[in-house]
Every structure is written in structure tokens, then in C-alpha cells.
Amino acid sequence: MPESTAQPRPRRALALSGAVVFSIMRRAYAAVLIVVIVWLTFLAVRYLFRSLIRPIAAPPQVMQLPTRLGEEVLRERREQWAALEATENARSPLAHYHRFEGWIEPDRFNDCTRSGCHLALPHARRKEVRAFLNMHATSVHCSVCHIQSADTPLPVAWYSLANGKPCGPPAGLRAYEFVTGAEERQRLAHPTGADQARLAALLREAAEAADGAPALRDLAARVAAVRVESEAFQELVGTVRTTLPEYFRGEYGAKLALYDPQTKKPVLGFPGTAAAVKEWLERGSTLNPTDRAALLVRVHPLKREQALHCSDCHRQAGGLVDFAHLGYPEARRDALFRPAIFQMIEHISSGQPMHLPEFTTP
């Protein structure tokens, strides 16, 4: 008698079903192998024939040179759009002479841009100020200037470009405070290893936020490398004081936005307007001017009649933004409150050209 017949019935059934499952798996596996072999063979044979028949074309590494500064070019990082990680200095589009090795960090949490309504460089109308306004778009969310708020100062807070959530002041500002604040200056006169580690970490974080800024990274490495009680460390702290302001260029890895204390979230778009935005995108261009205007009101229900001006924020007393509360060190606040820049902007904003003084020429 065969051994299997001696097995109890449930065991036999189990063995039988196991054999069936094994057989199915084995056959499925064979089918997958067939597909893979056929596919690989096809690729191999196609390659062989093409190598003899089709004239050679230059590969993407050579041909994907950006030819114009279309928006899609700038969305990508340098190594991607240039497709040349092997090169030291990838080329800019031909018509653009100056190099740019990076691009502003896209704000993936800004409802105004991610909805598809506005570009990351939204200001385009007034030649006098549009570029200056776009410059602010890298560190200030649209809500600060364009959404109504009765509070003074405005309830503004930082939010992270990595996750859209509220965050503390950016590393660059904290590092600047660390080397320029009155208390910190005293402490840095007799620094400890912890101070050194903190400064290096802040600088590294600031470099990361500023698109990898090699000079900052280098500075961080040097700060970390020297002996904390040495003269070299003090010299480096001085260098950090003078160098950091060069990196306050709106690349903080964070942005300022209106803050809603009730939800404890930054205001990154007009609340409750999803349907209106959808309608605008679908048929906004087909509407007559009256309906269009009405729909736009629904899209922007809390929009300020008049956006904020430079001097609304950039002033020492009565400014709408409390820069100290936002973590701007005193030295940085002083720079932001200097009247020269915003007075110049407001001057040209009024339609009058601004002639640079003769003595600025070499």
C-alpha cells in the first residue's frame, strides 16, 4: 500500500492542496521567467541591430543642455536640468551668460502657487517693483502682504518649507544671534565645546537651507575643526559675524506667513476656497468681466484691498512685523530697518526712475 493512502484524510488533503499550491507557484514562476527572458532577448537583439543600422545620436548627457529659461528648467535642480553630474560647472542656458547653480527652493505648501493659479514668481505687472516683490516671495508667503488682518503687529510666524508646519527661526538667523547677541558675545569670549558644536551645527544647517552654500559649509567645518580656546576660534567667530549677512538672501529653508492662533497653523491660502479655485481654473478664462470679478472675490475672500508697502514692515517703530519676535537678531533688524532700500523702492514705485549716484562708479 502506498504511504500516502495510510495518512489520515485531513493530512492528505493538506498535502494535496500544498502540492497544488506549489505547482501553481512553480508554473507562475516559470511564466515570469519566460517573460523576462523574452524581454531581455528582445532588448539585446534590438540593440545589436540598431548598432549596425541606426546612425549614432549624441546621448542625453551631451544633448540635454538647457536652451532657454523656461519655468520647467528652473523647477529642477542644477544637476538634473543640466543632466551632467560629471561636470564641474554645468552650463546655464546659452542666452543666459551668468551662472546660477541652484534655484529658489519651491514652496510646496503655498496654496496660491500649488493650486496652479499663481507662479512661484507671481509679480509681473509693474516693471518698477515686480522683481523686488518676487525677491520677497522666497522668504515671505503671500498671506503676509495680501491677506487681511486687523492685528498690529501682524500674527506672523515661520513655517518650514520641508513640511509646511510652524517652526522656529531659521538656522542662519539663530547663528547670527549666536555671534552678535550681547549675551552671546560675552559667552563667546570664553567659549565651551558645547558653544563650538552649536555654532558649527547652526552653520551647517544654514548652509543646507541656502542651497548648500559651500562657503558656509566650509566655515562650519573650520569652526568645528579648531580648538575652542584658541585664537583661531575667536577669529573664526569674527569671520562668521561678517560672513553670515551675505547669506541672508531669502534662502532660509523656512518662510514667514500669517499665523492662525486658533488652528495653530500658518495661513498658506484662503480658507474654504477650494471649490471657487476649481471653478476658476476650469472656466475662469471663459467668463465675462463681471462674473470673472465676482468669482475672483470668492477665490480671494480675505484679500487686502491694497497690498502692504515696504514701509509698512520695514520701519523701526510701528511696523506691522515684529522682527524681534520672529527671531531676527538686532544686527539684522537694523539692516532691515535701514530706510535707504525701501525709500528707494517706494520712490521708483511711484513711477520715478532712480539714478545711481556717480560716486558709485569705479
**Footprint (CB under 8 A) of other proteins, residues 129-158:** 130-132, 134-139
225 binding other proteins? (CB under 8 A): no
Site residues for other proteins, 226-245, by CB under 8 A, read 242, 245
In the complex, what is the shortest distance from the CB of residue 148 to other proteins, in angstroms, rounded to a whole number? 25
**Residue from 1, 6, 53, 150 in contact with other proteins (CB under 8 A):** 53
180 binding other proteins? (CB under 8 A): no
**Residue from 7, 77, 101, 308 in contact with other proteins (CB under 8 A):** 101
Cell 525701501 belongs to 342
**Residue from 94, 197, 225, 293 in contact with other proteins (CB under 8 A):** 94
- CA dihedral (159, 164, 167, 170) in degrees, to 10, reads -60
Q: Left (φ > 0), alpha (ψ -120 to 50) or beta: where does 303 sit? A: beta
Contact 193, 199 (CB under 8 A): no
**Residue from 89, 192, 230, 316 in contact with other proteins (CB under 8 A):** 89
Site string for other proteins, 109-128 (x = CB under 8 A): ----------x-x-xx--xx
163-168 long-range contacts, Cβ below 8 Å, gap at least 24? Answer: 163/109, 164/108, 164/109, 164/266, 164/268, 165/265, 165/266, 166/259, 166/264, 166/265, 166/266, 167/254, 168/327
In the complex, what is the shortest distance from the CB of residue 333 to other proteins, in angstroms, rounded to a whole number? 14
Contact 209, 171 (CB under 8 A): yes
In the complex, what is the shortest distance from the CB of residue 32 to other proteins, in angstroms, rounded to a whole number? 10
In the complex, what is the shortest distance from the CB of residue 239 to other proteins, in angstroms, rounded to a whole number? 11
**Residue from 1, 56, 194, 317 in contact with other proteins (CB under 8 A):** 56
- Tell me which residue of 327, 162, 357, 125 sits closest to 254, measured CA to CA: 162
**Residue from 81, 104, 255, 323 in contact with other proteins (CB under 8 A):** 104
61 binding other proteins? (CB under 8 A): yes
Cell of residue 165, nine digits:
508646519
In the complex, what is the shortest distance from the CB of residue 228 to other proteins, in angstroms, rounded to a whole number? 21
Site residues for other proteins, 261-290, by CB under 8 A, read none
Q: How far apart are CA 1 and CA 26, in angstroms?
A: 29
Within its chain, how far is the Cα of 233 from the centroid?
32
65 binding other proteins? (CB under 8 A): yes
Half-sphere exposure of 255 (CA within 13 A, CB side): 26
- CA dihedral (113, 327, 253, 163) in degrees, to 10, reads -70
Contact 314, 342 (CB under 8 A): yes
Contact 337, 124 (CB under 8 A): no
**Residue from 68, 170, 189, 317 in contact with other proteins (CB under 8 A):** 68
**Residue from 215, 221, 225, 281 in contact with other proteins (CB under 8 A):** 215
Nearer to other proteins, 263 or 360 (CB): 360
46 binding other proteins? (CB under 8 A): no
In the complex, what is the shortest distance from the CB of residue 158 to other proteins, in angstroms, rounded to a whole number? 17
265 bridge partner residues: 260
Site string for other proteins, 317-356 (x = CB under 8 A): ------------------x--xxxx-xx-xxx-x-xxxxx
Burial of 200 (0-12, 13-18, 19+ CB in 10 A): buried
3 binding other proteins? (CB under 8 A): no
